[in-house]
Amino acid sequence: MKNQFDYIDQQILKQLRTDARKAYSQIADELKVSNSLIHQRIKKLTQEGVIKNAEFILDEKKLGYSTKSYTGIRLREARFAKSVMEELSKIEEVVESNFVSGSYAIFVLIFAKNNQHLQKILYDHIHLINGVAGTDTFICFDTGFKRNIPIK
């Protein structure tokens, strides 16, 4: 497929982007195609890595995580990047980690129960990782919107 999606593929992806648990038969009905065609296309999209997995979106606030922050991490030296990333992956509250350009080498998304919990994550875990030179943390007051990339 190599990023070549026809109309049916685009519509399937749009449907799944809205609700990953939507029944294939419902998608087929809405697109006026056969159920087997939907199964074949989704299987192909999955095999090609376009669809990685279906996942639930958890409401962090309802689970008790009231503090959301983005933290930029500076490294002592670039050679520490991979090992720091490996150590960050062991911290459950770090839910996303990216290599970035600019003042920071790594930017992470952290969910904490409260500000004290965030402080503990930063000082008792992240700052103790070999190679971390420092951090800057930005508290997120609220999320205006969040969405997947467009399908064209």
Q: Are 48 and 25 in contact (CB under 8 A)?
A: no
DSSP H or E segment with residue 96: strand 94-99
- Its pTM stands at 0.81
The per-residue pLDDT for range 60-109, each reduced to its tens digit, is 999 999 999 999 999 999 999 999 999 999 999 999 999 999 999 999 99
For Cα atoms 98, 133, 120, give the angle at the middle one, nearest 5 degrees: 80
The per-residue pLDDT for range 8-35, each reduced to its tens digit, is 999 999 999 888 889 999 999 999 999 9
**Whole-number Å distance between alpha carbons of 142 and 137:** 15
Cα distances (angstroms) measured from residue 16 to each of 27, 31, 37, 53, 124: 9, 13, 15, 11, 40
